[in-house]
Structure 1
Amino acid sequence: MSHVLVVNSGSSSIKYRLLDMDGRRTRARGAVTRIGEEGAELAHSSGRGDPVTRSGPFPDHESGLRAVLDAFAEAGPDLAGIDLAAVGHRVVHGGARFSRPVLVDDAVTEVIAGFGPLAPLHNPAAAEGVRVARRMLPDPPHVAVFDTAFHHTLPEAAYTYAVPDSWRSEHGVRRYGFHGTSCAYVARRAAAWLGADPAEANLIVLHLGNGASATAVEGGRSVDTSMGMTPLEGLVMGTRSGDLDPSVANYLRTAAGLGPGEVDALLNHESGIRALAGDNDMREVWRRADAGEHGARLAVDVYCHRLRKYIGAYLAVLGGRVDALVFTAGVGENDARTRERALAGLEGLGLGVDPERNAAPESGEREISPEGAEIAVLVVPTEEEWEIADQVMELLGGRG
């Protein structure tokens, strides 16, 4: 059996999943959280008995990954005793250079780190995770899979900002897009649900989690997406503002004495749903809205208004030829009220939900639009780890 260990290294965490590629099943999964902080913890589950948990301290990614390998040795599967075909690394930003997965060597690792200014919360941690994993697991090949890669098919008109040429040519200022591995997986599964060739399906994919994005997919290719050079642009998100007049930063520098770094941190971590409702968990936001809190009601209204704007825009981008709108990720998969509100008023454009189908306590892939709807509305749970593993094996030619 060929296995792929998928690793997602964040600034203070390592999430992982061991996948049996032949049996299409998860053999183990877990995470190390709060690396370098108090309260660091490892949780590892292999489906054999109780999960393994360990308390830190885990001062760095090396100690965190060592704890992960120890958990595999203790609770299984023993990585030394299985056919580990590869280690696949999720990397958020590949810049304009990486349009597909790539075998990792020292040079690639340094390029990933070099994209740190484009994704300061993600790429430096990913590069460090790659370095540590290659030292500790030197035998299998390591492959980087990029969130931005799926959006390399964006046409020039969609990815170009109307800014000075030197910004674009010398500093890489353009739209890159994110959530690409999720979009690629969901688009393929949605096409299968429709009984269509992915190369012929036109879709609007709404990846709604704490981070959120909308993507127009034409014939399996990304042709427009809401996130930009960084993940800040686009939809209102859990803690990110989404679209904002770029002059706000300069105004706040003068009016409030805030530096660029302070504004950037506030827009990424203290804005969005949290800024309006006081919480970025949509379940709590709905509870507060139902209790009559103005801020929570406003948060829901703003969130869904922005969604409708992008849905309408992408209907236009796709020329009105849309086979399905697809909800995915935590909010998209589980929040029936948000799905309903996001499509409210779009019935004349062929979009809507069947109240019973939408509210049904189901999981898995499903259709929630009314019978005979002009445009299907689907819920497709995302499986980014499987998408990463499949791309890894495709790069390696399927070899174990």
Structure 2
Amino acid sequence: MILVFNAGSSSLKYALFEGERCVQKKTISTDDVVREAKKILRSLDHNSIQCIAHRIVHGGTHTRAEYITLEVEKNILKQIPLAPLHNPYELKIVEECKPLDIPQVAVYDTGFFSKLPKKSSTLPLPRDLAKEHNLRKVGFHGISHEFLLEELSQVVGKSKNQVSCITCHLGSGCSIACIENGKPKDVSIDFSTLGGVMMVTRPGNLDPGVLLYLLDEAGLSTKELHEILEYNSGIKGLSGSKDVKKLIEKGDESIDIFCYHVAKFIAMFYGTLKHCDGIVFSGGIAQRSPVVRRKICDELQGIGLVIDETLNKKNATIISSKKHNSPKIFVIPTNEELMIARKALQLIAK
């Protein structure tokens, strides 16, 4: 069996797989993912576990699934400044698993976007500086976006390399991917986990001048600025709360602003595709909230996007309006754990 750990910024997901068949799965909302991982390890029969696979948010130059060695751990540690809400905790869970003497595998969230075209991965900075510090668009949530691509290809009846689409992973962390003929063309989230579309506690794209102003004129230290950007911006910064469900229910303005930010990225990416097989909503916010999906689609009528409200309220797989000949809109629950298990099985089979 494959044990999968998927440690997020606000939850721990784990699953057990026999091949690709899930036999046990749970999501735990927690502020201490390491503590919960210890409980899970104590509850399982270790003799039946062949491999422990981990979602690693930032792998730096490491992009393919690989067995975790000391050198791999050092590389994950090196990326902590770029993924401070994830990499430290993922490493701690790896450490907790070591006494079991079971092979461990790292599956990187950045892997799917490792071969972005240069026109989208290049940051407009001095080339020497960018080369010295390996500054480029990295992209995140790749495990989820790759899974959604594979699922959509089955829904539309095309091979993966024929599918062009926009996938929206909207949860505590958010990213939007532009995929053309089965390959990532662009992604909203950038060099770090702070950029791209507005998120629950992170701001997404900001004018760099705002950051310089806060440092030079407002007198913030880099540590204070880091705290603001990682933990106190985005929806939480605007509303004072990160309880998205309650904010949606009361119609808080922060949700309208969030939906507009998402719509802007969809519109931008849609215009770069020669054709689009569909726009996919997924992640904890998008796959559960008809209100959020409607608000986003209402902002996109200029590209012909019209939602069927009856289907939307039912969380149907296809929620686009046939009456208005809208581009297809899909709601597909992501399954990062299954994708991680697949990657681990492929590695074991080599």
Same-fold call, TM cutoff 0.5: yes
Q: Normalised by the size of structure 1, how large is the TM-score?
A: 0.81
- Deviation for aligned residue 1:255: 3.0
Cα distance in 1 for partners of 2:283, 2:182 equals 19
Could you tell me which residue of structure 2 aligns to residue 278 of structure 1?
240
Secondary structure (helix, strand or coil) at the match of 2:287 reads: helix
Counterpart amino acid of residue 216 in structure 1 = C
- Deviation for aligned residue 1:370: 1.4
Cα distance in 2 for partners of 1:12, 1:330 equals 12
1:367 has 2:318 as partner = yes
Larger radius of gyration: 1
Could you tell me which residue of structure 1 aligns to residue 259 of structure 2?
304
Could you tell me which residue of structure 1 aligns to residue 100 of structure 2?
137
Partners of 1:324 and 1:377 within 8 A in 2: yes
Counterpart amino acid of residue 335 in structure 1 = S
Counterpart amino acid of residue 121 in structure 1 = L
1:79 has 2:79 as partner = no
Q: 1:153 aligns with which of 105, 108, 115?
A: 115
Secondary structure (helix, strand or coil) at the match of 1:396 reads: helix
1:333 has 2:287 as partner = yes
Secondary structure (helix, strand or coil) at the match of 1:68 reads: helix
Residues 135-156 of structure 1 show CA distances to partners (whole Å, capped at 9, x for unaligned) of: 2221x32110000001112101
Q: 2:24 aligns with which of 27, 41, 52?
A: 27
Cα distance in 1 for partners of 2:262, 2:12 equals 31
Alpha-carbon spacing, 1:315–1:329, altered in 2? closer, same or farther (3 Å): same
Q: Normalised by the size of structure 2, how large is the TM-score?
A: 0.92
Counterpart amino acid of residue 390 in structure 1 = R
Cα distance in 2 for partners of 1:33, 1:190 equals 31
- Deviation for aligned residue 1:283: 2.1
Identity across the alignment (%): 32
Aligned residues, how many?
349
Q: How does 1:124-273 map to 2 (within 5 A)?
A: 124-133=88-97, 135-138=98-101, 140-273=102-235
Partners of 2:282 and 2:333 within 8 A in 1: yes
Counterpart amino acid of residue 318 in structure 2 = E
The structure whose RCO (Cα within 8 Å, separation 6+) is larger is 2
Q: 1:67 aligns with which of 39, 59, 71?
A: 39
Partners of 2:306 and 2:326 within 8 A in 1: no
Residues 21-49 of structure 1 show CA distances to partners (whole Å, capped at 9, x for unaligned) of: 25x123254659444xxxxxx9xxxxxxx
Cα distance in 2 for partners of 1:366, 1:32 equals 26
Cα distance in 1 for partners of 2:232, 2:84 equals 17
Any gaps of 5 or more consecutive residues in structure 1?
36-41, 43-60, 73-77, 290-295
Alpha-carbon spacing, 1:367–1:359, altered in 2? closer, same or farther (3 Å): same
Could you tell me which residue of structure 2 aligns to residue 38 of structure 1?
none
> How large is the RMSD of aligned CA atoms in angstroms?
2.2
- Deviation for aligned residue 1:338: 1.1
Any gaps of 5 or more consecutive residues in structure 2?
none
Counterpart amino acid of residue 316 in structure 1 = G
Counterpart amino acid of residue 156 in structure 2 = L
Partners of 1:20 and 1:27 within 8 A in 2: no
Secondary structure (helix, strand or coil) at the match of 1:26 reads: strand
